[in-house]
Structure 1
Amino acid sequence: MPSPVTPARGMRDFLPAEKRRRDLVLETIRSTYRSFGFDEIETPVVEDSGRLHAGLGGDNEKLAFAVMKRGLDREALQAADTPLDLADLGLRFDLTVPLARFYASHRATLPTVFRSIQIAPVWRAERPQKGRYRQFVQCDIDIIGEPSAMAEIELLSATSAVVEKLGLVGTTIRINDRRILQSLLRHWSVPADRTETALVIIDKLDKIGVDGVVAELEGIGVPTEGLAAQLGELAGATWRTGEAAPAWLDAAAFADLVALRDALPEARLEFDPTLVRGMGYYTGTIFEIAHPDFGYSLGGGGRYDGMIGRFLGSDVPAAGFSLGFERLVDLVELPEGGGDGGLVLLYDRGLDPVALVRLQGELVARGERVRLDRKAKNLTNQLSGLAGLGYSRFAVVRDAGVSAEELEVRELS
């Protein structure tokens, strides 16, 4: 039985120092994306259940938290065929489905090409483990209405700038195209009705290895003779693979990827024909941030031209990039004393609280961040704790009538 004072499984509390660290990283991400012309929006944490289970979210739909209808009685419970019959809402499992609904709702008031930022929590009924939680923050940028590669260039350029500002060294962006994957499946004679299942299996290559992928593909009726060797070749593919023009490669899609690489020489793009991105809504270019020290991606995205049309009835080009914030924040090294500063007024017992608050207000009006703390007997420990909260200066107040100019302000070290 869980403790009555611990958070729900897969969710976390954040102490002030942790929250400050997260906010500093988030502000770097937010400000960098804004500098590239993206505008921040906000959407509700819940969406209609039917929208969350409309086939737009791939396997994540199975992980959606459902919100039960109000006023359910015994008769309604007995009449339900599935648990989802009892729900009319659900917690969002990503930010892309809400964005598609948002754009369809507000299209008339938005620019022809809309560049959005969404930074917000999402929820999935995952099996909690290191780096994987049931509530976590996503940092998304999307460009809607731009059909050309300009969208991908902007997304990759802005995200590369974020990674650089966060000081993450050695990252690369793996890149592929859904058209190349479709060509690969045709080359392997994968039945049309097994396409999405086969892609899900290939996406597990880094987890279950070549033999595991071959076994699972065989299980859905895919001819597997010589497949292990081909998978090994795919895993070692580079940009030079295009020079050999293998039969499985979609030449037009590969040429588009080469053009992206040439447009972004600083982005360190690597061609990876085994990259799938499990979400079923991707229609073209797909990409993921990789780091040599970690076996998981730090973010990813791609083009999803068909999603918004599900709401509007006509397709609208769209592409996006999502950063895995919970993984990023653990990697970022902040400068020593990287708090937001502030002044602590340490006051002696018995001083007039009204006068103390008046002094605090005077300092706040000047733009200071000011905390009132009764001076402890162990001043060294107290100052150390305040430094840990991000404060950088302190002053001891022995007379509540002292003015702001008369304070003897010292640095916290």
Structure 2
Amino acid sequence: MLDHQVIDTRDAYLAATASISAGTGPIGIDAERASGFTYSQRAYLIQIYRRGAGTFLFDPPALGDFSELNAALRDDEWIFHAASQDLACLREVGLDPQHIFDTELAARLLGIPRVGLGTVVEELLGIHLAKEHSAANWSTRPLPEAWLVYGALDVELLPDLRDRMVDMLATDSKTDIAAQEFAAVLAREAKPVGPEPWRRLSGVHSIRGQRGLAVARELWLARDRLAQELDVSPGRLVPDASLTAAARAMPSTRQDLADLREFSGRASRSELDRWWGAIQKGLASTDLPSLRGNGDLLPPPRAWSDRNPEADLRYKAARAALTEVSEELAIPLENLVTPDYVRRVAWTPPENVDPASVGEALAHLGARTWQIEVTAQRIADAFVDVHQAIELSSESDS
């Protein structure tokens, strides 16, 4: 499609589906959202490229359901760059791949230091890929031609990039590792919304007391309801810093809130009654939030030396051992094994520490087979060394 026309009618969509089905090889796919502009994370443009078929740009809000296209491509390999960012919005319109190749994840496994699509394409294919529209408001209609060119280029190079990476993974004996990682991305369930999503409010840690937290909670909830209603990113109505400033100031009247300089944003005054009502609700609430929050969050590692010194020693020893493995395999530490898994096993280790028990604990948390194979022994050895060092220290002290 040299003119980069957006497909927004049913007939054009069905014709494109037939053309893509007649193409050959894996499918390059990408989706553009309007993150930072809209409340929803829906796709506003879906780009597909396949050899022998060409490039196709689809308008999801206009088309709605993509079940025919999904049925036609279900058994083929879909190539993404950072699939985890796009799968949710694609599944929302009925596009749900069964087999993927993720070039961003492959780049990490190959030890490529910078994994943005433009950087990886330039390094492996020698082609400069401009990325100036990545943060655009893709809910804009009509979409500018320059944006469409950008969107098309995002997928047209994916098959060539994938082929290059397949060879590199094989050379590094990482083909099976990549397959396990791709399967894990597909199987990963969406993270459920926590019981207190308002605690994600930036700067909430600066608010003192339960009453202040109750005010922050009600302001966040009021903003979230309005953002959903208008389909506008919450921060574009009133930024987080304004909500936390109001919760810290605890204004006693509507005018006090209006006079608060730190309380800004495009809806800060036009919706002043809404915000003042939220503050009053927080001030009157008998359901005061706890100071520490709920959930099974571990303390930050910097606090471990005081709160759980042995866990601190285990974690530091395991991290040092895993850093060596990371360097040996040229795989970033965060991809070698999820850091939170290591923290949890270090905080609450198996009763009898050995590679099997550590591996079982990692598997329970969600680690992949290859991750357990390359890390369980090193973690177990580190824990045993720490235990022995503590025992020797205790004996010498006695």
TM-score range, shorter chain: under 0.3
Give the structure-1-normalised TM-score. Answer: 0.22
- Greater fraction of residues in strand: 1
- TM superposition score normalised by structure 2: 0.23
Structure with more relative contact order (C-alpha pairs < 8 Å, separation 6 or more) = 1
